[in-house]
């Protein structure tokens, strides 16, 4: 007997028929001799609707505590409906909100982090041969306030519960049948991957592949729980996200991703002296702004340029803070650009394969796309480009590095 955590995303529970389909799937898993915990999202479109209501009343900056109380209602509806649907099929099921099951988080409303997960109530349902149905995306802080985990957070709820229960697998059911070499909605030639390492999936999620929330992959990696991403609408095997040792096919490039959620800030003519970078970035981190890429030029005549990226939502604030610091440290100027995108290629095989960067740059050059910034890690190369070229860049890189395997594109 296996213990399986199944997570169903918004499109999988979009209406009554979909919820009944999920109930049938859950019951079939149980009848095959497994224990099942199900984690669900809000019905498709519901969270966006609630976000809209919050802004309609609360303006640009609605009270974040109340925002979380409101957004958590989406998932609360689904758990009750799914528990009813499972009952209709003659099986026991009990629904739990995040607070009821003991999903404890910190107090950072709208982007809370999980601190601990209680398993007692879930275990008692399983021991009585029932299905535990839990609300994704939500928890409670130390004082009992409802918190939410950031958009896409139900993935993280499900994986965290799977880790706490030491489940055999966490199945993520969604509207695509696995993790693809790139977003299949953008590139029809994208190919479904059979297996992928946690490290690759982490890079892909961090670089914009929203099929799994980043933190869910971090949990799975830390506790070694395999994730199986698959379709709610077919019985086909999906993609296994697992330890590097279990990935047979070490692809040089396993994925191409894009992220349009960042903006760039460019500080020109900064004095090349100890302490300047710290002066520039401390006010940003003190304000909770997460800086992603940072590039500093080699200095010439004692001064240098620093360019960095921040989430688009924090752009105005970051630009104001940087402008203030610039007047204190006496840099030449500061400006920014919101119309950028980060395009990345990811693959385990890059560890021992040279030449991916060259082929990447050549493919972009062939399309006349200018590269503004470049960063690399052991298994990833990212470039910042003008936003309007995002889709073209993703298609060109997919064609050159995934579809076209080893062949190098010709630079005009
Ligand atoms: P859910 O509501 O089930 O959580 P999401 O919309 O959050 O679903 O995630 C699934 C979507 O992720 C797919 O519809 C697809 O468009 C997108 N996606 C982006 N990159 C990839 C990728 N590399 N592989 C598969 N899907 C991807
Ligand atoms: N309902 C939340 C959202 O739309 C959480 C989730 O679906 O994962 O972001
Ligand atoms: Mg999602």
Distance CA 11, CA 9 (A): 6
- 130 CA to centre of ligand 1 in angstroms: 30
What is the arithmetic mean of pLDDT over 297-313? 89
- 362 CA to centre of ligand 2 in angstroms: 38
Q: With pLDDT > 90 as the criterion, what percentage of the chain qualifies?
A: 85
Closest ligand (CA of 138): 2
Least-confidence region, from 9-13, 56-60, 340-344, 353-357: 353-357
pLDDT in tens, 179-225: 999 999 999 999 999 999 999 999 999 999 999 999 999 999 999 99
Domain annotation covers residue 237: no
154 and 284 fall within a common domain: no
272 and 402 fall within a common domain: yes
Is the pLDDT at 305 greater than 50, yes or no? yes
Distance CA 165, CA 158 (A): 11
Predicted local confidence at residue 408, as pLDDT: 40
Closest ligand (CA of 42): 2
58 and 167 fall within a common domain: yes
Mark which of 146, 175, 204 sits at the end of a domain. Answer: 175
Predicted local confidence at residue 216, as pLDDT: 98
- 13 CA to centre of ligand 3 in angstroms: 12
Identify the band that residue 354 occupies on the pLDDT scale cut at 50, 70 and 90: confident
pLDDT in tens, 155-187: 999 999 999 999 999 999 999 999 999 999 999
What is the arithmetic mean of pLDDT over 7-14? 97
Predicted local confidence at residue 250, as pLDDT: 77
11 and 103 fall within a common domain: yes
Domain annotation covers residue 210: no
Domain annotation covers residue 231: no
357 and 265 fall within a common domain: yes
Among 6, 8, 9, 10, the mutation site with the greatest number of ligand 2 atoms within 8 A of its Cβ is: 10
**Buried b or exposed e, range 116-152, using 16+ CB within 10 angstroms:** ebebeebeebbeeebbbbbbbbbbbbeeebbbbbeeb
Ligand 2 pocket member 239 (CB < 6 A) = no
Q: Domain total for the chain?
A: 2
Range of the domain at 96: 3-175
252 and 150 fall within a common domain: no
298 and 394 fall within a common domain: yes
CATH number at residue 404: 3.30.2130.10
pTM score: 0.91
Predicted local confidence at residue 286, as pLDDT: 93
Predicted local confidence at residue 146, as pLDDT: 98
14 and 117 fall within a common domain: yes
Mark which of 175, 201, 219 sits at the end of a domain. Answer: 175
pLDDT in tens, 106-138: 999 999 999 999 999 999 999 999 999 999 999
165 and 258 fall within a common domain: no
- 228 CA to centre of ligand 3 in angstroms: 14
Predicted local confidence at residue 410, as pLDDT: 37
Ligand 1 pocket member 67 (CB < 6 A) = no
Is the pLDDT at 151 greater than 60, yes or no? yes
15 and 136 fall within a common domain: yes
CA-CA distances (angstroms) from residue 233 to 13, 175, 238? 11, 8, 12
Domain annotation covers residue 375: yes
What is the arithmetic mean of pLDDT over 42-65? 96
Distance CA 59, CA 54 (A): 7
Domain annotation covers residue 239: no
pLDDT in tens, 60-84: 889 999 999 999 999 999 999 999 9
């Amino acid at each position: 007997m296996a213990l399986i955590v199944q997570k169903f995303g918004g499109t999988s529970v979009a209406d009554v028929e979909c919820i009944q389909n999920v109930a049938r799937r859950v019951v079939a898993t149980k009848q095959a001799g497994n224990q099942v915990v199900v984690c669900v999202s809000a019905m498709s479109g519901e969270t966006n609707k609630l976000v809209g209501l919050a802004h309609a009343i609360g303006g640009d900056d609605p009270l974040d505590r109340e925002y979380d109380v409101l957004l958590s209602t989406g998932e609360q509806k689904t758990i009750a409906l799914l528990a009813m649907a499972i009952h209709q099929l003659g099986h026991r099921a009990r629904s739990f909100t995040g607070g009821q099951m003991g999903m404890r988080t910190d107090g950072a409303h709208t982007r809370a982090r999980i601190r601990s997960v209680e398993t007692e109530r879930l275990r008692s349902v399983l021991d009585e041969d029932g299905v535990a149905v839990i609300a994704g995306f939500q928890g409670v802080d130390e004082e009992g306030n409802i918190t939410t985990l950031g958009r896409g957070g139900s993935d993280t709820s499900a994986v965290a519960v799977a880790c706490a229960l030491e489940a055999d697998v966490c199945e993520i059911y969604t509207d695509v049948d696995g993790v693809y070499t790139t977003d299949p909605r953008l590139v029809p030639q994208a190919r479904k991957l059979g297996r992928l390492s946690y490290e690759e999936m982490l890079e892909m999620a961090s670089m914009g592949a929203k099929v799994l929330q980043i933190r869910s992959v971090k949990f799975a990696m830390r506790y070694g729980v395999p994730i199986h991403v698959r379709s709610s609408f077919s019985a086909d095997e999906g993609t296994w996200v697992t330890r590097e040792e279990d990935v047979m096919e070490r692809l040089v490039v396993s994925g191409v991703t894009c992220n349009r959620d960042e903006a760039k800030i460019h500080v020109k003519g900064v004095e090349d002296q100890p302490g300047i970078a710290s002066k520039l970035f401390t006010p940003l981190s003190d304000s909770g702004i997460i800086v992603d890429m940072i590039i500093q030029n080699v200095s010439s005549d004692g001064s240098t340029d620093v360019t960095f990226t921040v989430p688009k939502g924090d752009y105005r604030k970051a630009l104001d803070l940087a402008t203030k610091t610039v007047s204190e440290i006496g840099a030449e100027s500061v400006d920014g650009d919101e119309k950028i995108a980060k395009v990345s290629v990811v693959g385990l095989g890059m560890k021992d394969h040279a030449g991916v960067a060259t082929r990447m740059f050549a493919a972009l050059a062939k399309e006349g796309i200018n590269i503004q910034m470049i960063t690399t890690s052991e298994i990833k190369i990212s470039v910042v480009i003008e936003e309007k070229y995002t889709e073209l860049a993703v298609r060109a890189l997919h064609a050159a590095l995934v579809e076209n395997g080893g062949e190098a594109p010709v630079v005009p």
